[in-house]
Chain A
Amino acid sequence: MLRALWTVSALELRTRLRDGTAIVIAVIVPVTLATLFGLALGGDDPPLKATVGFVDLDGGEFPASVRREVMAAKELKGSVTLRDLPSREQAGRELESGAIGSAIVFPAGFSESVGAGKGGDVAVLKTPESPLAGVVASAIVDRISAVVDARTLAVRAVLRAGVPGDQVKELVERNGAAGPAIGLADDPLAGGKIDLSVYYGSGMAALFAFFVVGASFRGLLTERKLGTLDRIRAAPVAAWVPVAGKAAVGFALAVAGALLNWGASVLIFGSTWGDPAAVTVVLVAHVLAAAAITMLVTSRVRTDAQADGAIMIVSFVAAFFGGSLVPVYNLPGPLQAVALLTPNGWTSKALTELAGSGAGLAAVALPVGVLCAIALTAGGLAVLGFRKGLLL
């Protein structure tokens, strides 16, 4: 049976490679489009919108001045909103519901502890749902801790010098290590930069994966028209051989295409997509989902011409609503929710997460899981459809 499978796959591969459109569709077109989008829209940070929860259990002057600074920083104007919340628990709930993207928590007694030269810990609450907001909160806290470190050092030095405790505060402030002068001015998202070349590179890879893998199932309908499918089915091979033989090739070509898109994005823009193993897993999961969906589509149409049209429509709808064409964060809220009904949405989310942080596979477990679930569901429905048509 493996030999029959290989025979079908070898012919499919040969047909696809001979027909140069395979490479054009898998690599050249998506890379070109991603490059054009990337250049036209600038390889800059994406328009960022983040709501950061602000939990001030301290009530002292330190948190107050952090808030003042953040509000005043014109680099963050319009993109970062602070929302005051009464407790850490409340912040956790809001985070859960998606009302905020991250939160900064100042513990009780923070200002006093810093003032006494004992330092202090500011907590950051993050969720993989909004990687960008997490990056913003972390960046702010990074700055705070730098200030706290400096302040602690100064306080300790002054104490060392024998200044009485009640005069330390005044001395330190007078000599410059005053309130938290947070330097948010330059590079507020250090380490979390997601440039548009990654966004569009992955978006185009996600879109074109549908076409590449879909072409194999379309080929099945072409063979039905040619009569060769019946001929294969009349041979002593299992019923799944023609479908599987073609699907394997479409899958391999689509994965290769997505990886080449990634490679091209790195070469052309010098962009970083993040942890290579995790990126690969996400891309493979995306192609699986795309394969299952295009298989479902082709199992419900009669001719290869209909399959062309149907695959085209489904691919573009998934790409549009999934944020492969227009960044999801530019869409209104309800549409952002719709994005999560498409594999593209989850793929984009996962790749954004990876590119925006040093996160690894664990961070994208949810999106990858959802992609696999989509693949299983659509694949299962497709097999039921095939049973009535292309298989027995």
Chain B
Amino acid sequence: MTTLETASAPATTTTPALACRGLRKRYGDVVAVQDVGFAIAPGQAYGLLGPNGAGKTTTISMLVGLLRPDSGTVLVGGTDLAADPTRAKAKIGYVPQEIALYPELTGRENLRFFGRLFGLPRRRLAARIDEVLDLIGLTDRADTKLGTYSGGMKRRINIGAALLHRPEVLILDEPTVGVDPQSRKAILDGVERLVGEGMALLYTSHYMEEIERVCERAAIIDHGRIIADGTRRELVSLVGTADKVELVLDGDVETAFAKLRAVEGVVEAARTGASSVRLIAEGGRYLLPALITAVEGSATVTATQVIEPDLEATFLHLTGSTLRD
């Protein structure tokens, strides 16, 4: 694991809204999560970035008390989840990866059901439901059956159901999967607003842009382990000053790829499709002519894109694979 000295680490005097240490979970032969630990301060947004099967959902299931870890501890606002689950769970707003709502109930009825489970008194719950509906922008559809909603609308209710009790920490497991751009924007705006109001956030995704936009700190998780964590800048600096270069090739891509890897300055190389490759290269934008020359004879470059360092580049750098394949 790459650990960084961080200037922006949360002050140790405040109790983290959510902290875990040494989490480990095994399914038969598969170790889904091992030695996962981090702390999120109140009002801080923390990202968990990892490809499919990395162990994000397994980690979250242990954080919200759905899965008993083989070892490790979870503290929610200082309360030990294993010792006092009811008290700890009351501080968490958990948004499952899949939509988990009753299709035959209306949006409002769904919210009311889950709100009651958190013990909100009737009157206050009714008021909170209105506020949450407003926040997720579904006031006008609140009284129609959930089964008739679009995917994006269901996603928004899915999140809303976790907000009614004003949790200290909101845990979102890939909240924007399969969502239209409009709903996605609404979700991200809403989440940013909540963080601005002081809610702690754990946000998992394999969408780099979302983590980069929403989270000030993030961990990169792969094969059940956190392989790096820190602020966005710290993580990106792990790749050095390298740029990401994407090329679309026409011709003998295999041979061209091998030639590209050998170009001086290319740090990492990965195939991203039948005819596309992605390179991490020192000063990539100045290297373009060299790259185009390198493939001559086997292929021609039909499109290029140069991206300055980002989390995706970091991920590629750390794991040698892309986040989405």
A228 near B102 (CB under 8 angstroms)? yes
Q: Name which residue of chain A comes closest to B68, CB basis.
A: A392
A227 near B99 (CB under 8 angstroms)? yes
Q: Give per-residue flags for A207-241: 1 if the beta carbon is below 8 A from chain B beta carbons, else 0.
A: 00000000000000000001110111111111000
With A3-B119, A228-B101 already in contact, the answer to whether A236 and B96 are too (CB < 8 A) is no
B100 near A231 (CB under 8 angstroms)? yes
Instruction: Point out the residue from B85, B86, B114, B119 that lies within 8 Å of A231, measured CB to CB.
Output: B114
Q: Give per-residue flags for B73-96: 1 if the beta carbon is below 8 A from chain A beta carbons, else 0.
A: 000000000000111011010101
Q: Is B66 an interface residue (CB 8 A)?
A: yes
How far is it, in angstroms, between the C-alpha of A343 and the C-alpha of B99 when the chains are bound?
40
B48 to chain A, nearest CB (A): 17
Q: Is A15 an interface residue (CB 8 A)?
A: yes
A227 near B86 (CB under 8 angstroms)? no
Q: Is B39 an interface residue (CB 8 A)?
A: no
Q: How large is the interface on A (under 10, 10 to 19, 20 to 34, 35 or more residues)?
A: 20 to 34
B92 near A234 (CB under 8 angstroms)? yes
Question: Which residues of B have CB within 8 Å of A234?
Answer: 64-66, 89, 92, 94, 96
Question: Which residues of A have CB within 8 Å of B38?
Answer: none
How far is it, in angstroms, between the C-alpha of A231 and the C-alpha of B66 when the chains are bound?
9
Q: How large is the interface on B (under 10, 10 to 19, 20 to 34, 35 or more residues)?
A: 20 to 34
B114 near A235 (CB under 8 angstroms)? yes
Question: Which residues of A have CB within 8 Å of B85?
Answer: 236
How far is it, in angstroms, between the C-alpha of A286 and the C-alpha of B89 when the chains are bound?
38
B19 to chain A, nearest CB (A): 18
Question: Which residues of B have CB within 8 Å of A8?
Answer: 117
Q: Is A160 an interface residue (CB 8 A)?
A: no
Question: Which residues of A have CB within 8 Å of B117?
Answer: 4, 7-8, 232, 235-237
How far is it, in angstroms, between the C-alpha of A8 and the C-alpha of B117 when the chains are bound?
8
B224 to chain A, nearest CB (A): 20
B60 to chain A, nearest CB (A): 10
Instruction: Point out the residue from A15, A227, A230, A236 that lies within 8 Å of B119, measured CB to CB.
Output: A236
Q: Name which residue of chain B comes closest to A232, CB basis.
A: B117
Question: Which residues of B have CB within 8 Å of A227?
Answer: 96, 98-101
A230 near B118 (CB under 8 angstroms)? no
A14 to chain B, nearest CB (A): 9
| Residue in A4, A230, A235 with the greatest tally of chain B CB atoms within 10 Å | A235
Instruction: Point out the residue from B89, B100, B103 that lies within 8 Å of A230, measured CB to CB.
Output: B100
Question: Which residues of A have CB within 8 Å of B189?
Answer: none
Question: Which residues of A have CB within 8 Å of B90?
Answer: 236
With A3-B116, A236-B87, A237-B86 already in contact, the answer to whether A231 and B102 are too (CB < 8 A) is no
B94 near A231 (CB under 8 angstroms)? yes
A38 to chain B, nearest CB (A): 37
A20 to chain B, nearest CB (A): 13
Q: Is B104 an interface residue (CB 8 A)?
A: yes
B104 near A18 (CB under 8 angstroms)? yes
Within 98-154 of B, Cβ neighbours of A (below 8 Å) are at 98-104, 113-114, 116-119
With A234-B64, A237-B86 already in contact, the answer to whether A4 and B119 are too (CB < 8 A) is yes
Q: Name which residue of chain A comes closest to B119, CB basis.
A: A3
A239 to chain B, nearest CB (A): 8
How far is it, in angstroms, between the C-alpha of A11 and the C-alpha of B89 when the chains are bound?
22
How far is it, in angstroms, between the C-alpha of A235 and the C-alpha of B117 when the chains are bound?
6
Within 228-273 of A, Cβ neighbours of B (below 8 Å) are at 228, 230-238
How far is it, in angstroms, between the C-alpha of A4 and the C-alpha of B89 when the chains are bound?
14
How far is it, in angstroms, between the C-alpha of A233 and the C-alpha of B114 when the chains are bound?
11
B104 near A228 (CB under 8 angstroms)? no
Q: List, sorted by A's number, 9 A–B pairs whose CB atoms are closer than 8 Å.
A: A4-B119, A11-B113, A226-B101, A228-B100, A231-B100, A233-B66, A235-B89, A235-B114, A236-B87
Q: Which residues of B contact A (CB under 8 A)?
A: 64-66, 68, 85-87, 89-90, 92, 94, 96, 98-104, 113-114, 116-119, 161
Q: A7-B117, A231-B96, A236-B85 are in contact. List 16 more A-B contacts (CB 8 A).
A: A3-B119, A4-B119, A11-B102, A228-B100, A230-B66, A230-B96, A231-B114, A233-B65, A234-B92, A234-B96, A235-B117, A236-B86, A236-B118, A237-B86, A237-B117, A392-B68
